[in-house]
Amino acid sequence: MCAHVPRCGHYGGEVEDMAEKVLMKGNEALAESAMRAGCRFFFGYPITPQTELAAYMAKRMPYVGGTYLQAESEIAAINMVYGAAAAGARVMTSSSSPGVSLKSEGISYMAGADLPGLIINVQRGGPGLGGIQPSQSDYWQATRAMGHGDFHCIVFAPSTVQEMCDLAYGAFDIADKYRNPVMILADGMLGQMMEPVELPKMIDPKTLPEKDWATTGHGDKREHNVINSLYLTADHLEKLNQARFEKYARVEAEEQRSESYLCDDADIIVVAFGASSRVARSAVNTAREQGIKVGLFRPITLWPFPKVALEETCSHAKAYLSVEMNMGQMIDDVKLVVAGRAPVEFYGRTGGVIPTPNEVLTKIKEMQASLIGKAGE
């Protein structure tokens, strides 16, 4: 190891155990924060646009006594996450859309074996190889079908570099609490943009609670632990899946997170997450300046979808607009909550194209005109 490699990859900070404010890329802030949350194991495979995240881990892990390992494939990487999680460690991997598809095998096995772990998807356009520009087209995958079988990933959607940092920091606690894989669904824009970020305190993994279910060697002190997702008796598997869905019900009750911005008196609610919520927020601000009563509802958890908070807006909102960087995926969840009480429209760009605030504003104005027209009828 060359002596000139800085202790803290990007910013050269020396004091790790104190909170500090620095300018960082989203991917790097997330990586640094995950380490500070006690993650000492990173398994990855190169893919754009998550590149900086893995590179940062490779540079930084040796300085915190951690392991960065470049696997032979995304499949191997997620199965290493499975192994390290089984062995009781805080562990993560990161990838981008096509790589996440490959990881779906291991994520399903993690869910089936009740293993905690963090998976980052810095999304790019799809399907197939798609493109390398930012996208949100893996919403369905993340929230509906992150692998085969009856299970859910808990999915967070950051919209700032600070949130990349904060959500990663808390994700391990959530994963450990529910013994379930957690995903952060970011995108190429959030990953590669720079913003000031306040980094959290470094947690020493040795201070984390022991996991009595982990396969660490029984030390002749207990029965053997088994990490497994195979149950050949239908009744047995059904019971386990039912128990897992009771856990998911608790997650739905306890973990819904969202931000409501100017929603209290809004006629029109724009629903957007991640990068597209930044665009939507600008459009909402401009529309407000022009006297349109519009607000932004921003899901921070995509699963569980923040149904309760969105439901509260249904008492007064007259129309909804789902703004996404895809062909319309989250709109399904918005419609499930609104349940026909108001029209739910969609505006989105896909393939890596980022919608502009003006495009969204135009759509808001159209909807406003339509509402006025309806009121006049």
Residue 142 CB, shortest distance to other proteins, in Å, is 20
Least distance in angstroms from the C-beta of 205 to other proteins:
10
CA distance 326 to 77: 27
Q: What SS3 class is residue 294?
A: strand
Binders of other proteins among residues 92 to 111 (CB under 8 A) are 105-106, 109
CB of residue 211 to other proteins, shortest distance in Å: 11
Give the nearest distance from C-beta 88 to other proteins in angstroms: 7
Of 212-231, binders to other proteins (CB under 8 A) are: 215-221, 224-230
Could you say whether residue 206 binds other proteins (CB under 8 A)? Answer: no
Residue 57's Cβ-side half-sphere holds a number of Cα atoms within 13 Å equal to 28
Q: Give the Cα separation of 265 and 294 in Å (integer).
A: 8
Task: State the residue for tokens 């998807």.
Answer: 121
Residue 113 or 193 with smaller CB distance to other proteins = 113
Are the C-beta atoms of residues 90 and 35 closer than 8 Å to each other? no
Q: Is 62 in the site for other proteins (CB under 8 A)?
A: no
Structure tokens given for 61: 């892990």
User: Torsion over CA of 247, 165, 70 and 89, rounded to 10 degrees?
Assistant: -40
69 near other proteins, judged by CB under 8 A: yes
Q: Residue 39 or 165: which CB sits closer to other proteins? A: 39
Phi, psi dihedrals of residue 10, rounded to the nearest 5°: -85, -40
Task: Please report whether residue 87 would count as binding other proteins according to CB under 8 A.
Answer: yes
Q: Give me 70's structure tokens.
A: 């470049």
**Of 4-43, which residues contact other proteins (CB under 8 A)?**
4, 41, 43
Rounded Cα distance, 181 and 171, in Å:
9
- With a CB cutoff of 8 Å and minimum separation 6, the contacts of 142 are 121, 153, 155, 183, 185, 302, 303
- What x/- string results for residues 152 through 181 when contact with other proteins is judged by CB under 8 A? ------------------------------
Please identify, using beta-carbon distances, which residue of 108 and 136 lies nearer to other proteins.
Answer: 108
Contact pick of 89, 92, 122, 294 for other proteins (by CB under 8 A)? 89
Please spell the DSSP secondary structure of 65-119, one letter per residue.
T-EEEE-SSHHHHHHHHHHHHHTT--EEEEE-HHHHHHHHHHHHHHHHTT--EEE
Pick 79 or 96: Cβ nearer other proteins: 79
73 binds other proteins, rule: CB under 8 A? yes
Does position 237 interact with other proteins (CB under 8 A)? The reply is no
Among 24, 91, 280, 334, binds other proteins (CB under 8 A): 91
Residue 225 or 286 with smaller CB distance to other proteins: 225
Coil, strand, or helix at residue 197? strand
Q: Nearest approach, Cβ of 370 to other proteins (angstroms)?
A: 51
Residues within the interface to other proteins (CB under 8 A): 2-4, 41, 43, 67, 69, 71-73, 75-77, 79-84, 86-89, 91, 105-106, 109, 113, 215-221, 224-230
